[in-house]
Amino acid sequence: MTDKKVWLITGAGRGLGLDITKAVLAAGHAVVATGRNQEKVAQAIGEADDLLVLTLDITKPAEAEAAVKAAVERFGRLDVLVNNAANFYAGFFEELSSEQVNQQLATGLIGPMNVTRAVLPVLRRQRSGQIITISSMAGLVGFEFGSAYAAAKFGLEGWMRSLLVEVAPFGIAAITVNPGFFRTELLTEESTNFAEHHLADYDERRTGQEAFYKGYNGQQSGDPTKLAQALLTISDAAKPPRRFLAGADMLGAAEQVLVDLQADIDAYRELSGSLAYNEPVASIGN
């Protein structure tokens, strides 16, 4: 790759996507900034050289293909895809409707797959490129009131870890980013949706959970502008990481995952190791 790269960023009109877009442009790269509302994305970013703003609903494969085609027609190549667009369906699993779960998975898991599928032929032809997918702390840690969101993020994790092996022979890097709590717009009313159904057994806990998420918006410890700069740093690395854990809270959570996993291994090590198939011993005839 040359020093100047072409980045395609989803969800570029607000939140972390907007911060990434501004950081990439300031670093002298070209950006294909996408979002469901092209006009709003353009207004949020403002005018800039080497900027192409496109409409892209990541749940629609045809729009992903059209965006990639337009990007290549404008810039001749693509170097970095940032799968950033996201939403959050918060609620206890039993209270979330099947439609809400489907919508969470459509945006959080299938959407990034749609865009990546459209981008990969370009990167393969070039024999170079990066796919940076924004996961979450929820991709490593399941948490109360976030079962659907965690399901989408855990799915991203498995997909990306498999994808990185599949595309590495073509010179393509697949990087998973796990942010902790950053002061983005994920917890705003525009991005967070609560469960539609209420069951009495969950009333007390639901009240506390909803109060936490509504009150925590704007109080998160992480700075998204610093995260955007960090993404530039790892993208420029001679050997980009397979995973980047973003934020002190994320580091603590990941370390606890390791502790818990080791405890699970040790607790049933003997039983787990005793499950090999015993081949029957052949009898010896007279």
Burial class (CB in 10 A: 0-12, 13-18, 19+), 96: buried
More confident position, 189 or 235: 235
**Domain of 126, in residue numbers:** 6-272
C-beta separation of 57 from 161 below 8 A: no
pLDDT at 195: 86
Model confidence, pTM = 0.91
Average pLDDT over residues 153-181: 96
Number of C-beta neighbours around residue 265 at 10 A: 10
- C-alpha 141/C-alpha 146 separation (Å) is 10
C-beta separation of 193 from 164 below 8 A: no
How many domains does one find in the chain?
A: 1
236 is a domain residue: yes
* Residue in 149, 213, 268, 277 annotated catalytic: 149
105 is a domain residue: yes
More confident position, 145 or 215: 145
Average pLDDT over residues 168-193: 81
Q: Is 149 helix (H, G, I), strand (E, B) or coil?
A: helix
- C-alpha 20/C-alpha 18 separation (Å) is 5
Whether 149 sits among the annotated catalytic residues: the reply is yes
Q: pLDDT tens, 96-142?
A: 999 999 999 999 999 999 999 999 999 999 999 999 999 999 999 98
Q: pLDDT tens, 204-257?
A: 998 888 887 776 665 666 688 999 999 999 999 999 999 999 999 999 999 999
131 is a domain residue: yes
- C-alpha 122/C-alpha 127 separation (Å) is 9
Q: Kindly report the CA angle at 135 between 63 and 5, in degrees rounded to 5?
A: 60
279 is a domain residue: no
- C-alpha 67/C-alpha 258 separation (Å) is 40
Q: Which of 2-11, 160-169, 178-187 has the highest mean pLDDT?
A: 160-169
CATH of the domain at 113: 3.40.50.720
